[in-house]
Amino acid sequence: MARRKRPFLMTAIALWVAAVVLTAPALGQLVNGVPADQGLGPIGFVIGPLLAIGGILLFLVKKPEPERPPEPLD
């Protein structure tokens, strides 16, 4: 089995999908002239970008490299 370099890739993708699902209706609501304080606007504009940022952070997390023992000094 190949070693995974990005252990949280699927979680990051799930967070990005959730961010799009929350932000898209809020943007549609804004374009159609519905006030931003009604409907899905508050949730989409607050939680959507937070989920996207969380997905980016999880995507950037890499598996730690194993530590090598120090070389003996001769």
- DSSP for 32-73, please give it: TT--TTSTTHHHHHHHHHHHHHHHHHHHH--PPPPPPPPPPP
Sorting pLDDT into bands at 50, 70 and 90, what band is 10? very high
What is the residue whose two structure tokens read 């937070």?
A: 50
Instruction: Tell me what pLDDT residue 40 has.
Output: 64
Mean pLDDT (whole number) for 50-71: 87
Phi, psi torsion values for 20, nearest 5 degrees: -65, -40
Q: Tens digits of per-residue pLDDT, 29-42? A: 888 887 777 766 77
Residue 7 above 60 pLDDT? yes
pLDDT at 12: 94
